[in-house]
Amino acid sequence: MHFTEYDTRVAAYAVIVDEHQRILLTWYNGEGRHEPGWSLPGGGVEYDESLEEAVVREVHEEAGYEVEVGRPLTTQAWGHRNGTKRSDKPYKAVKVLFDATITGGSLGTVEVGGSTDFAEWVPLGDLDQRGRRADVVDAGIAAWSRSRTGSAPR
C-alpha cells in the first residue's frame, strides 16, 4: 500500500532508567476509549516539532522532568486497515524510543486533562506485579538492555 493511502501517527518515547534500576513510567488513563495501564513517557509528535523535541515536551508534561535526549534505541510500528474515528483510511502508528537522561525538574504530572494521571519510578524487577502495561514498555526495556550490553539495536 502506498503511503498516501493510509494515515500515519508518529510518536516518540523516553526510556529512562536510573542508577537504582528503576524505570520511569506513566499511568495512561485510557481516556475512556482504551484500557488504562503503564506506559513510557511520550506520545504523538506535533507537526512543527522534531522527534527529540516531542520527547522533551512529553516527559515534562507527563512526568515533570527536563531531559536530555540520547540516541534512538528502537522503533515499533503497527497498523490496522479498518480506519479510525477521524478517517476511513487504514492507520499506521510508528513509535521511536529514545534513551534519555534527567537534567532537572521533579516528579509530577503537569498536563491537565490529558491522557496521563501520574508518573512513578518502578523497579525493573517489580514490573510484573504492577498490572497492565503497554507493549512499548517491554520494547523499551529490551532495547535499553541491549544498548547496555553492546548488542546491536533492533
What is residue 89's predicted lDDT score, i.e. its pLDDT?
83
- Residue 132 domain boundaries: 3-149
Contact 40, 15 (CB under 8 A): yes
What is the tally of structural domains in the chain?
1
Contact 51, 148 (CB under 8 A): no
Q: What is the CATH number of the domain that holds 83?
A: 3.90.79.10
Residue 78 lies in a domain: yes
Burial label, 126 (beta-carbon count in 10 A; 0-12, 13-18, 19+): exposed
Give me the percent of the chain exceeding a pLDDT of 70: 95
Higher pLDDT, 148 or 59: 59
Residue 154 lies in a domain: no
Residue 98 lies in a domain: yes
Identify the helix (H) or strand (E) that includes residue 92: strand 91-105
Is the per-residue pLDDT at 82 higher than 90? no
What is residue 78's predicted lDDT score, i.e. its pLDDT?
86
Q: Which amino acid is at 92?
A: K
85 pLDDT tier (thresholds 50, 70, 90): low
SS3 36: coil
